[in-house]
Structure 1
């Protein structure tokens, strides 16, 4: 146990960035200011997201209470937390097999299950903290509308801390199976990415089809569901969320039985996942490491083909990302989210009502509403394009090999611009599938409207992506030990999310101002394009001018 706790605390410090902050506070006044600045930015990001989340919860809890659905809403929040843990847990657990410190770790006298548990436990701890942040506000608001006692809060603490256990245990076992399936095949990284993508799609489609069935019922069944079965219905895709919710909202033996069931299964799932995934952790990790090295060998025939320096830099960025499942899944996952979301919303039947696309076609959409719909589409595209960890870590991914980048016979500004174009290409890859899906699945939207929304979203994404590249060029996190750490522990990836949220404000201001002046929807689109294009050009010029100094200082104390 001593070895486990030692490894756990080391990994936890790295996971939360505590070691970096500690070094910053010890490095003098400049380091202290930087560390305080990062803490302030993190507080602003968490505070803004928390305020928005609380506002939305308050908005929906009162009408839910009046409709007798406050228990159901609390269940939905618990379900949301557990599903998010499961989806992102898959990515984090796959990343465990690509850590660069595994060779050193396996050379130590540590059993492989202990090694896996020491790596897995910090993920569990961080996800538990995130779930507490999601569930606790809902519990506080729920307690204002329902009678709760001390036992409710005691059970709440246990449920919140264990809410990540079952989803992460499933993620660990599935990740172990995915990685194990690649042992005897060539091009392992590509197989891992393919299996991960297929599983991601199948899971979300399965959840949607299960939830769609709740509207396929007669009046008597609907009345029975509303009087007690709605919680069961919305959690059919993930029953552990029902156990957790029942343990909180039910009193007496029903609530206690659900609590004991949830607690027992959670602990059992963690033990089972440690046994299953830990039993093959060393063999699978070593195999993946060897595969990564073999697949990164240089093909002299291909490398000798003449091409421009700019194209070579761009190709290098793509090769780096596509050769790593961790980089690829974190950078390109948004390309799947948009089309799946559109398909689930418009084409999965909702009982006797049919699919939403059929309903909209029957009802029709007034012309004056179409403009607002397109603004919403552009906003969705903007968020898909700016959740872009690939752009926010373009220099961080160089790691300790950044000296090689500095010695290339290429102007630093061309290096910076190549990385910017790469980041914008990721945004395009995230946005275009959504536009194509909307074109084929929503006939009430014309191709010109979709092209306009897509163009506006891409132009609005450019300042955020350029700002993210600039931040990573100024202060890259080069001392990472694993590819997962380069993405997950990068402060610049967090800063980009904050930047994306902050940049919404001027765009909303532009739309509000033009509408207040009653200049029409054409003027709204023109103003958005002109202002965002001007800001983009200014940031690109600044990026090119600062590149020689910032790239030259990389890796130097």
Structure 2
């Protein structure tokens, strides 16, 4: 136990939840508080969904069904997202070589890393459980024992789905050598999740599923137990006992839930004793092609180019060649058109499309500039390229100070890569609207041109925030993008700015729409120009602190 506690403490320090190694904890907590505000709309939507369901089902004393649905959502989210988190922490982290040579049994290492993983999964638990329990309490007013039991349930709820994904990962790493390569695992796994999400979306919009959804509420009312079984009791048996324990304040069901969670964890440690070391030893992180270059190819490669252009190419190659960056930063360019195609050919959208294509869209013409501005803000940092460009350097950020390229040229190269991918993503999202709505080519051109100032400004703002607060302490590339909370500020900020922007232009008279749009566009252009001219001074100011 002492070794486990010491190892867990060391691993949690590397997680850096409240510090990146340079900033104080108060600033980091304030930053996380700001990010929490961005999730309020999502929490509100969950609350409305659970509140409506409880009001409808409490009359028939089926409150446990709503609790079950909430716990099932939490469990499935944890299971899916931990499939990528587990390999990163269990097998691909930089501390693995150090831990393997220490006199530690595999159970101790696994228990420490499991504790680290479970802290990440509490985020999904909180996002769903807060609106779920708030709706339950506001409608049913349970006693004090409910709160104590709910606390126990929420603390133990992530264990079982995390154990399932951990065992699945250990089996793959032990018996399927194909997945031991980190790049191969991330690429195949990432595209598998994308394909799975698209297949699920298409299935949910199929005629068969639409007919099934129309009878869903009737099924809940007539036979709730069958619904519980359909939703996955066989996969997550513990959540059925947890929901009944809270709805009926049943101590016996709570004890069964606790027993299942603890037993699953013990089975995980027992399997890890025989699987973990054999799967962790001898894997390769990346591959090397060992390509031979001819003299003409070497001459072409050594041909001198502009420093900013060369640095932009370097950034783009890094984004395309690193699987984590490709999946998180580049794949939206591919994903958005595919989603449009799925929507366009899905049977449920055919009626909506036929109605939209018959609409008179002349009323929207005064709003085209502001639509372009909103699209630019939305896509400027949705790929997190500019807002993580300094963080992705990690511990190698010191080389940016010493290489014979000015900070201004390096920063501009990083911004250029973000601008290019952002523009392609926006373009791939705007052009399909030409086929969905009866718009003219000039209308689309206005939207595209008006999106450029906000797109440029958003990318410069993203890299400015990353220079001010980079996440440089990480063990694998995924942390620089997925676990970089600084990058979430411009990403969610670009989404949130659409609301006040739409509210402002909705209440403006049509005669003021164009002048106000021009003022906003000029302000964005001025802000971009100021940042570009002062980039060297700003970069030197922040890099002195790194």
Please tell me the TM-score bracket, short chain as reference. 0.7 to 0.9
Q: Which of the numbers 104, 120, 132 marks the counterpart of 2:126?
A: 132
- CA displacement, residues 237-258 of structure 1 (integer Å, 9 cap, x when unaligned): 6545796367426888998897
The correspondence of residues 394-543 of structure 1 with structure 2, limited to 5 A, is 394-435=389-430, 442=436, 459-497=453-491, 499-500=493-494, 503-504=497-498, 507-508=501-502, 510-512=504-506, 515-519=507-511, 523=513, 528=517, 531-532=520-521, 534-543=523-532
- CA displacement, residues 194-223 of structure 1 (integer Å, 9 cap, x when unaligned): 31233213432454466555433598x667
Q: Using a 3 Å threshold, how does the CA distance of structure 1 residues 203 and 184 change in structure 2: closer, same or farther?
A: closer
Answer yes or no: is the 8 Å Cα contact 2:394–2:472 preserved in 1. yes
Match of 2:137 in 1: 143
SS at match of 2:543: coil
What is the distance in 2 between the residues matched to 1:470 and 1:315? 21
Pairwise CA distance, 1:109: 2.0
Match of 2:210 in 1: 215
Match of 1:196 in 2: 189
What is the distance in 2 between the residues matched to 1:395 and 1:437? 33
Q: Using a 3 Å threshold, how does the CA distance of structure 1 residues 73 and 218 change in structure 2: closer, same or farther?
A: closer
- CA displacement, residues 160-213 of structure 1 (integer Å, 9 cap, x when unaligned): 223333443344455556666884599x45532431233213432454466555
Answer yes or no: is the 8 Å Cα contact 1:83–1:167 preserved in 2. yes
SS at match of 1:85: helix
Q: Using a 3 Å threshold, how does the CA distance of structure 1 residues 340 and 325 change in structure 2: closer, same or farther?
A: same
Which deviates more, 530-539 or 1-10?
530-539
Match of 2:77 in 1: 84
SS at match of 1:355: helix
Q: Using a 3 Å threshold, how does the CA distance of structure 1 residues 517 and 552 change in structure 2: closer, same or farther?
A: closer
SS at match of 1:291: coil
SS at match of 2:39: helix
Answer yes or no: is the 8 Å Cα contact 2:408–2:539 preserved in 1. no
SS at match of 2:416: helix
Question: Is the aligned partner of 1:110 residue 2:104?
Answer: yes
What is the distance in 2 between the residues matched to 1:20 and 1:420? 23
Q: Using a 3 Å threshold, how does the CA distance of structure 1 residues 162 and 369 change in structure 2: closer, same or farther?
A: farther
Q: How large is the Cα RMSD of the aligned pairs?
A: 4.5
Answer yes or no: is the 8 Å Cα contact 2:394–2:473 preserved in 1. yes
- CA displacement, residues 134-185 of structure 1 (integer Å, 9 cap, x when unaligned): 3123212222223634554444333322333344334445555666688459
Match of 2:150 in 1: 156
Which deviates more, 450-459 or 188-197?
450-459
Match of 2:286 in 1: 291
Q: Using a 3 Å threshold, how does the CA distance of structure 1 residues 252 and 53 change in structure 2: closer, same or farther?
A: closer
Match of 2:534 in 1: 545
What is the distance in 2 between the residues matched to 1:345 and 1:139? 34
What is the distance in 2 between the residues matched to 1:401 and 1:535? 33
Q: Which of the numbers 538, 547, 554 marks the counterpart of 2:543?
A: 554
Question: Is the aligned partner of 1:14 residue 2:17?
Answer: no
Pairwise CA distance, 1:413: 1.5
Pairwise CA distance, 1:6: 1.9
SS at match of 2:393: helix
Pairwise CA distance, 1:416: 1.0
Q: Using a 3 Å threshold, how does the CA distance of structure 1 residues 102 and 146 change in structure 2: closer, same or farther?
A: same
What is the distance in 1 between the residues matched to 2:334 and 2:263? 33
Pairwise CA distance, 1:394: 0.9
Answer yes or no: is the 8 Å Cα contact 1:427–1:458 preserved in 2. no
What is the distance in 1 between the residues matched to 2:441 and 2:461? 31
- CA displacement, residues 413-451 of structure 1 (integer Å, 9 cap, x when unaligned): 2211111111223424544454466667x4767766666
- CA displacement, residues 364-397 of structure 1 (integer Å, 9 cap, x when unaligned): 6633598499988986885455333332221122
Match of 2:315 in 1: 317
Q: Which of the numbers 314, 331, 345 marks the counterpart of 2:329?
A: 331
SS at match of 1:478: coil
**Structure 1: 5+ residue stretches without partners:** 26-34, 349-353
Match of 1:30 in 2: none
What is the distance in 2 between the residues matched to 1:403 and 1:248? 52
Question: Is the aligned partner of 1:98 residue 2:92?
Answer: yes
